[in-house]
Structure 1
Amino acid sequence: MLTPKEISNIFEVQINTLYNWQKTKPKLYRYLQNADYNIQQNDEINLLLQEYSSIIKLNFTFEEILYIIDSPMQLLSMEDVKEFQKVFITVEYKNIPKNQIILSIYDKILDLNIIEKYILYKKIYKYRQFCDLDINEYFKEFIA
């Protein structure tokens, strides 16, 4: 558990403000007190996901991954991740007559479990932000 001084240093919040939040916003104050635990827990989850991703062997093509990256689709919640294929097809349904790759992508996303869907979308999201990454290397566990 973090002390008020540690919270102040990490989050750049004045100590007086923290004492005020202790009374007026107790949930926020407790969350900040436990921030070190939350960060540690996130790090552990990310490590597990990274280990899991190393055993994924899926058969997307380079073109399919590129198409998903270029798609305007966004997953904004865990519910969206669960329904990845529905979100994708909803965004892309108008393009089906022009591009048959969409149905192939839909089928492959449908076959993914929720962890694989999450990892795939997180990689897509990160790639969209930092597109200087090598697609073949970055998506190696998904490209056949």
Structure 2
Amino acid sequence: MPAREPYYFIEYIVKNMLSNRKISERFEVQINTLYNWQKTKPTLYRYLQNADYNYERNKEINVLLSEYSKCIQKNFKLEEIEYLIDSSLVVVSIEEIKELHKIFIKNEAKEIASRTDFILDLYEKILHLNIIEKYTLYKKIDKYRRSEILASKDIADFFFEFIGV
């Protein structure tokens, strides 16, 4: 936490830190292990202590992203979303999310000759997404790829924020 944080905020976090007993119960970790992690893995230990705060913060961010997704222009076709799901597009950081359009075009370089218009149109659409839209699109692609349950769900329903053309 930056030193500039208001006192009440720091006080809130400290008051709401999980005890070793609560961490042990919630994450099924032996208390002895927690004491060990306190010394050997302090970052992990602090994260677990603040699990309630981290959960609430992530919940708020997800609500904001969900609300924002209602404002996304529906520029993609179903075929384009399916293509992205099946592509080898992988990003692991926010910096890469910012450059999603460049990563996409590099990955698709071999396909450009056979599907020039399709790939360049898709590149343009990705290029014109802002960082939040790129993040939302990629996270949905990743979640869809990883989930067997979602794989049976209609792609158009899952990517409703983006499909509209």
Pair in the same fold by TM > 0.5: yes
1:104 is aligned to: 121
1:134 is aligned to: 154
* Pair 1:69–1:23, CA change in 2 (3 A): closer
How far apart are residue 9 of structure 1 and its match? 0.8
Question: Which shows bigger deviation, 88-97 or 61-70?
Answer: 61-70
Q: Which runs of 5+ in 2 are unaligned?
A: 1-16
* Pair 1:23–1:70, CA change in 2 (3 A): closer
1:143 is aligned to: 163
How far apart are residue 8 of structure 1 and its match? 0.4
* Pair 1:13–1:134, CA change in 2 (3 A): same
Partners in 2 of 1:31 and 1:127 — Cα distance? 27
Question: Which shows bigger deviation, 25-34 or 109-118?
Answer: 25-34
Per-residue deviation, residues 41-64 of structure 1 (Å, max 9, x unmatched): 111111111111122122111111
Per-residue deviation, residues 95-142 of structure 1 (Å, max 9, x unmatched): 001012110000000000000000111111112123112111111221
Which of 32, 36, 40 is the aligned partner of 1:20? 36
Partners in 1 of 2:79 and 2:43 — Cα distance? 47
Letter in 1 for 2:136: I
Letter in 2 for 1:58: K
Percent sequence identity over aligned pairs: 60
Map 1:26-41 → 2, pairs under 5 A: 26-41=42-57
How far apart are residue 21 of structure 1 and its match? 2.3
TM-score, structure 2 normalization: 0.82
4+ residue runs of structure 1 moved beyond 6 angstroms? none
Partners in 2 of 1:25 and 1:55 — Cα distance? 41
- CA-based RMSD of the aligned residues comes to 1.2
TM-score, structure 1 normalization: 0.94
Q: Does 1:61 align with 2:67?
A: no
Which of 91, 102, 105 is the aligned partner of 1:89? 105
Q: Which runs of 5+ in 1 are unaligned?
A: none
Count of residue correspondences: 144
